[in-house]
Amino acid sequence: MKIKAYHLVILLVSVILGVMAAMQFKSSSEIIDANIERTEKMAEKVEAKKKEIEELKIKVDEMNLQLQEAAESPEMYALNQQLITYGILAGTVEVKGPGVKVLLSDSEEPLKPGQDPSFYVLHDVDILKVLNELKAAGAEAIAINDERVIATTDIRCGGPVIIVNKNKRLAAPFVIKAIGHPDTLYNSLMMKGGVVEQLKFWNIRVSVQKADEVIIPSYPRSIKLEARLGGSISG
């Protein structure tokens, strides 16, 4: 009787352990299945993103090709050339090319009694005469002591110096550089009765040299214009 009860207890414990093991196995299987399903979904998302990235790369390559073709088109080349030309004329870019260099210095002649010393020093009007002659001869870019001369440049006397572009104070000697056809610029300054001859009359020291390459810096400040278009633009 005792042996049968013992067997019954063992059987009951075994059944309980078996049920617990089965439940544990089922729970573990469900967790594993859930992890596998989550991993598969993540893998699908990763593959979808990879595909999306590849498609975007293809679109970027196509757009770069279109942009390159547009940049190399005759219309774009002409537009770039116009922008370069406008930049040179506006003074917003540094330029170099053939031209002339003009050196101007005050006279070193000793004054005679009663002579006005102002006749023998350079004034703003003297600089303006040289600049106007160079512009009339086709100068494409001009600088005074490396200060770029643009359409709005003003030159005026400020005591012993000249003031250029409203606040740049320059003192003699003045070095004027101009880009253009060297022979044309040189001949316009040196012609009989021209600006150089007039300055030399007062013993102002003038030197004009042709140059194969002249470097003229860009205008160093921002350009502000008050003018606005007065009418509408029709296509």
Answer yes or no: do 63 and 110 share one domain. no
What's the mean pLDDT when you consider all of the chain? 81
Question: Which one, of 92, 195, 88, 205, lies nearest residue 137 by Cα?
Answer: 195
Going 191 to 192 to 196 to 198, the CA torsion angle's sign is negative
68 and 100 assigned to the same domain: no
Residue 163 has pLDDT above 60, yes or no: yes
Residues 174, 117 within the same domain: yes
Report yes or no on 42 lying in a domain.
yes
Q: Is residue 118 part of a domain?
A: yes
- Note whether 16 and 113 are same-domain residues: no
Domains contained in the chain, number: 2
Q: Are 103 and 211 contained in the same domain?
A: yes
Q: Is the pLDDT of residue 2 over 60?
A: no
Distance CA 154, CA 147 (A): 12
Q: Which of 212, 131, 144 is closest to 172 using CA atoms?
A: 144
More confident residue, 161 or 19: 161
Closest CA to 97 of 108, 84, 82, 110: 84
Q: Indicate the pTM of the whole model.
A: 0.64
Q: How confident is the model at residue 110 (pLDDT cuts 50, 70, 90)?
A: confident
Residue 67 and residue 118 share a domain: no
Q: Does residue 235 carry a pLDDT above 50?
A: no
* Bigger pLDDT: 209 vs 235: 209
Better-predicted residue by pLDDT, 199 or 32? 199
Residues 104 and 207 in one domain: yes
Q: Return the pLDDT at 233.
A: 43
* pLDDT classification of 187: cutoffs 50, 70, 90: very high
Buried b (16+ CB within 10 A) or exposed e, 37-76: eeeeeeeeeeeeeeeeeeeeeeeeeeeeeeeeeeeeeeee
Residue 133 pLDDT exceeds 60: yes
Contact by Cβ (8 Å): 126, 173? no
pLDDT tens profile 56-105: 889 888 888 888 887 777 877 787 778 777 777 778 889 999 999 999 99
Any idea what the CATH number is for the domain that residue 158 is in? 3.30.70.1880
Structure tokens at 56: 């975007």
pLDDT higher than threshold 80 for residue 195: yes
- Omega within 30 of 0 (cis) for the link into 173: yes
CB atoms within 10 A of CB 187: 13
Both 104 and 211 in one domain: the answer is yes
235 inside domain: no
Per-residue pLDDT at 177 exceeds 60: yes
Q: What is the pLDDT of residues 98-107, one digit of tens each?
A: 999 999 998 8
User: Which residue range is the domain that position 182 belongs to?
Assistant: 96-216
Give a yes or no: residue 184 inside a domain.
yes
